[in-house]
Amino acid sequence: MSTIEHYEYVFLGGGKGGKTLAMELANAGKRVALIERGMIGGSCINVACIPTKTLIQNARVAHVRNARTGEGDTADRPKTDMAQVSRNVRAVVDGMVDMNLKAFLASGMELIMGTGQFVGPRKIQVRTNDGGDRLIEGDHVFINTGTTAAVPDVPGLRDAQPLTHVEALRLEGLPEHLIVIGGGYIGLEMAQAFRRLGSHVTLIQSAPRVAMREDEDVTSAIESALGEEGIDIRVGVNPVNVSGKSGESVTVELSNGERIAGTHILVAAGRTPLTHGLGLEAAGVELDARGFIKVDERLATSAPNTWAIGEVAGTPMFTHASFDDYRVLKSQLSGGNLTTNERAIPYALFIEPELGRVGLNETEARERGIEVRVAKIPLAVVPRARTNGATKGFMKVLVDAHSDQILGFAMVGTNAGDVVTAVQMAMLGKLPYTAVRDAIIAHPLMSEGLNILFGKVPARSGGN
């Protein structure tokens, strides 16, 4: 039996929220251990945000180059050197992994590379990557294992050895025809990136439209933009059978009887929490019906002094949301009262035109019975959009019908994610929409469109 090694704080998994808290505690002189299977720094810098956005930037460069040579929208656009793209992605990832490793070591925490499984409350058996065994116990334990790509239960799909975004980032050769299953954020970003790199792309979405969490005008703008780039979008159909092998030849049979033939298939149909095999029963940690760890507003699990962080706890699947979990836990450990209640988490979809959103959209307001005033402008009225030659898209704001409180904002267009931040600050400061309307915004910035947009907000009923 392994000797028990005791720590004040033990982290199982090294995602954004967990690694940040672990380093901070270690820097404060606490005895901290972080158990990680292999991705130093977490999924964001290894297989998610950073490498995918690097891939997208390489695709953007290829798209601009092709547009300059008159090949930007043709079916037979030049093929990109995928091996070079893969090297570019790897170089960015390697640099950030090295930065994280140095920060880990400098903090004084112990980094244990291996696979952990609970064998009791706050007690973890670790099979280290070098073949050893260690038994780790903590006064406080934090579960930060994240999620993995879900593969739908479609006959033949698993046998076809489909790509996820992880394998797609490592491709050395460009797919001739990539079939993407899933019209959410990952599917849309991968579809446009590979189309711009030179692949033929078909996207299959079972829902009636892509990006279903958004209002219909948003998804319509997205579908239109991607369609203009030559992406074949099929909505309202399900894959019912898959034959062949991804990377060679693959055929997808759809619920409407059509058959789509391609060379590669990529699955982007949701995420599954990494909770299986963790021994959570032994830890006294309960799961919800979807397999995520049950937590309260303090991120506490059903077991004493055991917490969950990030996606595995059902936190929205964004790195910045996980980082806010770090803030919540830091507050809880120091006797504060910060919780996850009523936090507004902004997000961006990194396609072109970009999508940025914070707060409610029209669909959500309607479902909750919240009366709103809506203003919307096309990007074509924003001077900077015209100077950039990027007039596709729009801005839209929701203001409470009975006050001047800003309830939500969405933008489809260049720099949307950055413009959203300006509105988010106004919302956090509880400024009336008139403060944004009358703010002096430098000309000509994309955010100058906020003056125009907020100037279009309808007056309150009764003229008040």
Helix (H) or strand (E) run with residue 121 in it? none
Burial class (CB in 10 A: 0-12, 13-18, 19+), 24: middle
CB-based contacts of 376, cutoff 8 Å, min separation 6: 217, 394, 395, 396, 397, 453, 456
Buried b or exposed e, range 418-448, using 16+ CB within 10 angstroms: ebbebbbebbeeebbbeebbeeeeeeebbbb
Token look-up 């120091």 returns: 334
Question: In the structure encoding, which two tokens stand for residue 335, read together?
Answer: 């006797």
Tell me how far apart the alpha carbons of residues 41 and 227 are, in angstroms, rounded to a whole number: 36
Strands (E), 255-368: 259-262, 264-267, 271-273, 306-308, 347-349, 355-359
Place of tokens 């793209």: 85
What b/e sequence results for 184-201 when a residue is b if at least 16 CB atoms lie within 10 Å of its CB, and e otherwise? bbbbbbbbbbbbbbbbbb
What is the rounded distance in angstroms from the CA atom of residue 206 to the CA atom of residue 181?
9
Residue carrying the six token digits 């070098």 = 130
Residue type (1 letter), 165: H
Cα(116)–Cα(14) distance, integer angstroms: 12
Provide the token pair at 185: 């954020």
| 443 flagged as catalytic | yes
Q: Give the C-alpha distances (Å, rounded to integers) separating 422 from 124, 243, 428, 449.
A: 44, 48, 10, 11
Residue among 177, 264, 276, 443 flagged as catalytic: 443
Which residue in the block uniquely carries the two structure tokens 């460069």?
A: 61
Which residue is it, tokens 């790195």? 319
- Burial (CB count <10 Å: 0-12, 13-18, 19+), residue 152: middle
Distance from C-alpha of 278 to C-alpha of 306, rounded to nearest angstrom: 14
Q: Compute φ and ψ for 231, nearest 5 degrees.
A: -85, 125
Catalytic residues: 443
